[in-house]
Amino acid sequence: MSVVETTSHQTLKSTNLTPKNQIAIFASGNGSNFEAIAHACAENRLNAKVALLVCDNPDAFVVQRAKKFDIPVFEIQPKNYTTKADYETEIMQILKKYNIDLICLAGYMRLVSDVLLNEYEGKIINIHPSLLPAFKGLNAIQQAFEYGVKLTGVTTHFVDKTMDGGKIIEQVAVSAENCTLEELETRIHAVEHELYVNTIHKLQTHYQL
């Protein structure tokens, strides 16, 4: 079994005496949304703590971001498991250990199956760089740019079995006019970070996590 867990005894400063929601972030790549959420928690803009990073790619830069915030990292490689159910069962055990209330997917490049969906019903969310249901899947920003849309954006949504499916929570529109692909990516990423933090705050306010 190739599972590595890096733990830490340092806690983030907080002045809020109410119980904090324990968040696990699933990521496979760069992790800029991971860092945005971690910053919001560290600065007490969210009454929450990023308790765990779950990463299926040991070379992902998000692992370095987690170390900077002294956040435990659970590394797990799907190729070492016979079935997806076995893989997700292993993840679920560590989520239970950290008393996770909310799972945020942030560039996690795998569909979630029934093992996690049933256990965390209504408590798994994702962010996608388009105005869903348009431009699902990989390279959504490039898809929108090449299609020639005048308006694209960012969506947060609850997660179901489908690719970028599930009930929409929030959307923010972004102009795709008069820009290069790189400029559009910059516009989208600037919106993503604030939207994800605002979505978590909305769930804490309107839903019982």
Closest CA to 113 of 87, 133, 138, 79: 87
On whether both 95 and 135 belong to a single domain, the answer is no
pLDDT lower than 50: segments of the chain: 1-18
Question: What is the phi/psi pair of residue 168, to 5°?
Answer: -70, 135
pTM of the predicted protein model: 0.88
Element (H, E) at 51: strand 48-55
Q: Tell whether 110 and 141 lie within a shared domain.
A: no
Do 60 and 94 fall within a single domain?
yes
Residue 69 lies in domain: 1-121
Give yes or no: 201 in active site: no
Is the same domain home to 9 and 105? yes
Q: Give the end of a domain, one of 121, 156, 181.
A: 121
Claim to verify: residue 165 and residue 189 sit in the same structural domain: yes
Structure token digits, residue 109: 């490049």
Q: Of 103, 121, 139, which one is at a domain's C-terminal end? A: 121
Q: What is the pLDDT of residue 206?
A: 80
| Structural domain ending residue among the three candidates 102, 121, 140 | 121
Cα gap 91→104, rounded to integer Å: 14
Report the distance separating Cα 185 and Cα 179, nearest Å: 10
Both 117 and 161 in a single domain?
A: no
Of 122, 136, 132, the residue nearest 195 (C-alpha):
132
Percentages helix, strand, coil for the chain (3-state, rounded to 5) are 35, 25, 40
Query: Which string of DSSP letters, residue by residue, matches 71-137?
Result: --EEEE-GGGSSSHHHHHHHHHHHHHHTT--EEEESS--S---HHHHHHTTT-EEEEESSSTTSS-S
| pLDDT value, residue 209 | 59
- Active site residue: 9, 39, 128, 193, which one? 128
Same structural domain, 185 and 202: yes
Output the pLDDT for position 73.
97
Whether residues 58 and 153 fall in one domain:
no
Residue 63 and residue 34 in contact, taking contact as beta carbons nearer than 8 Å: no
Predicted confidence (pLDDT) per residue in 83-119, tens digit: 999 999 999 999 999 999 999 999 999 999 999 999 9
Q: What is the pLDDT of residue 11?
A: 29
Residues 101 and 135 grouped into a single domain: no
Q: What is the CATH number of the domain that holds 55?
A: 3.40.50.170
Same domain, 29 and 54: yes
The pLDDT value given to residue 115: 97
Total domain count, the chain = 2
pLDDT of residue 29: 95
Q: Judge whether 152 and 173 are in contact, CB under 8 Å.
A: yes
